[in-house]
Structures are given as structure tokens and as C-alpha cells.
Amino acid sequence: MKFLYAAYAATWIIHITYLAFLSRRYRRLRDEMHDLRKK
Amino acid sequence: MRRTFVILALLTLGLLSYALYEGLVAAPTEQTMGEVQRIFYYHVPSAVTAFTLFLINFAASIIYLARRSPTADALAVSTAEVGVVFCTVVLVTGPLWARPVWGIWWTWDARLTSTLLLWLIYISYLILRRYSTSGQTPVIAAVLAVFGFLDVPFVYVANRLFRTQHPQPVYFGGPGSGADPRMTHALLMNMAAFFCFAALVVWLRFRLERARQDFDETEALEALLQPDARSPR
């Protein structure tokens, strides 16, 4: 059973990590746009 | 747009929860492998989703090479990135299934090796997109994507053409293949849920890429309009 739960948990850890990474890139782009508007 | 996204995200979350119930509870326990066989309901849909995303990447790359469309380029990079995420899930869940069933984490058979190679090809694609400073990067990446996709059909047929540790196909594998209808139902539910989830993530990634393209264009124009950037007369 531990392998089954490990596989399911690993799947969601990978997806959530990617979504967090995507969210960080969104924030970075928004900040860059903000800086460009200020110039 | 935001409201549509939230509604679709909630529907996908509901479908993912139902698919999880189907995979972990409703589907019958397989007789030989026992409970660990339920990894199948995440492993196979992840593989099918990754292959579908690589197919879209292939088509978008061809369109980009033919028309130099920034939209096709944005779709290509989005599907490649999300495809790599799903392919990573395949490469992680596979060994977690193999260890209790085969007694080993990994073996260099044709199916496993070609899947690892596929992952490495698309990782190379993403590294090229991320770090190359050449103006021709999207073109080079599109060519790599077109040739890289050739590995996808090979992965699919690898366990039909060669003797592999990886099991023979459960579906479309000729006489004797197939599974209990409740298992097939759980698999199809998970596949539908993973497709919806992948579509949402690709949508997010695509919008980010389009915004990045617009930003880069604006920044380049701003740089050209700066007084010190003008060439002396």
C-alpha cells in the first residue's frame, strides 16, 4: 500500500510544484510590466 | 474569462476527485498484483496526456515553421512544458509500481529507455528555449520538436516490437487483452480528469507565454525609442 500512496502523492506533489513555479513566473512578469510602466 | 476559468477549474477538481474515488475505491482489486496495481489509474492517463501534449507541440511547431506565428510558438512551448510535467509523473510512478511487482526500480528495456529518452528530448527543448539568446531560438526549437516527436510512436510500439520487462498492452494488444469493465471505467474517468486538468494548465501557461511575448515586444520598442538608443546622424 505504501507504494500506491507514494505514487499518488508524488503525482500531486509534481503538479502542485509546477503550478507554484508557474505562479512565481506570473508574479515576476507582472512586476517587470509594472517597472516598465514606471519608466 | 476569469469566471470561465474558475468554473472550469471547479468542474475539473470535481472530476479529479471522482476519478480518485474510482481509482482507489470503486475499481476492483487486481488478482495478481493486489492494491499496488491501482497506480495504473494515474500512470497510464499521465502517459496518454503527455503523448497528446507532445502531439499538439509537434503540430504547433510545424505551423510555426510554416507561418512564423507567435501564437503557434506560444502553444508549442506551453504544451512541451506541461507535457514534460506529465512525463515526469510517468517516470516517477513507473518505478514505484515496478519495485513491489518486479522487485526492481528500473530496467533498460525498450519501453522504459525510450520513455526516458523522450523526457530528455523535451527537457533539452525547454533548456534551449530558456537559455539560448539567439533570435532563431524558436525556429531551432521547432525543428527539435518535430524530430523529437518521432520518439512518441516508438514508445507506443516498443513493448509490441520488443521483449520487454514492461507488460504487454492491456488495451489494443490483440486477442486476450482488455480489463474488467469497472477497471476500464476508472481508467477512462482518470483519463478524462487528467485531460481537463492538462487543458487548464496549458491555458494558464499559454496566457503567460503570450503576455511574455507582448512584454518583450513592448520592451524592445521602448528601447528603440530611448534617445540614447538612436543612431547619431
- B230 vs B88, higher pLDDT: B88
pLDDT band at B108 (very low <50, low <70, confident <90, very high): very high
> How far apart are the CA of A30 and the nearest CA of chain B, in angstroms?
9
SS3 for B96-146 is HHHHHHHCCCCCCCHHHHHHHHHHHHHHHHHHHHHHCCCCCHHHHHHHHHH
Q: Phi and psi at residue B30, in whole multiples of 5°?
A: -70, 140
Q: Which candidate from A3, A18, A29 shows the least CB-CB separation from B96?
A: A3
pLDDT of residue B20: 96
Q: Is the pLDDT at A37 greater than 60, yes or no?
A: yes
pLDDT (0 to 100) of residue B223: 82
Rounded to 10 deg, the angle between the B70-102 and B181-225 helix axes is: 140
Q: Is the pLDDT of residue B114 over 60?
A: yes
| More confident: B108 or A37 | B108
pLDDT in tens, B141-155: 999 999 999 999 999
Nearest to B95 by CA among B112, B77, B82: B112
pLDDT category, B188, cuts 50, 70, 90?
A: very high
| B116-129 tens-digit pLDDT | 999 999 999 999 99
- Contact at CB, B42 and A6, closer than 8 angstroms: no
Given a cut of 90, whether residue B165 has pLDDT beyond it is no
What is the pLDDT, as a whole number, of residue B67? 95
pLDDT tier, B47 (very low <50, low <70, confident <90, very high otherwise): very high
pLDDT of residue A31: 93
Statement: residue B64 has pLDDT above 90 = yes
Q: How far apart are CA B182 and CA B48, in angstroms?
A: 19
Instruction: Give the Cβ contact number of residue B29 at 10 Å.
Output: 11
**3-state per-residue secondary structure call for B143-199:** HHHHHHCCHHHHHHHHHHHCCCCCCCCCCCCCCCCCCCHHHHHHHHHHHHHHHHHHH
Q: Which pLDDT belongs to residue B180?
A: 84
Q: State mean pLDDT over A5-29.
A: 96
pLDDT at B71 > cutoff 90: yes
pLDDT at B37: 94
Q: What is the mean pLDDT of residues A18-29?
A: 95
DSSP A1: -
pLDDT at residue B232 is higher than 70: no
ipTM of the complex model:
0.94
Cα distance from A4 to chain B (closest Cα, Å)?
5
pTM of the model: 0.92
Rounded-to-integer distance, Cα A13 and Cα B183, Å: 25
A1 min Cα distance to partner chain B (Å): 6
Picking from A1, A2, A5, A8 by the largest number of B CB atoms within 10 A of its own CB, the best residue to mutate is A8
| Residue B224 pLDDT | 84
Measure the CA–CA gap between B139 and B77, rounded to whole angstroms: 12
Give percent above pLDDT 70 in chain B. 95
Query: What are the cell numbers at B122?
Result: 523535451
| Amino acid B172: pLDDT | 74
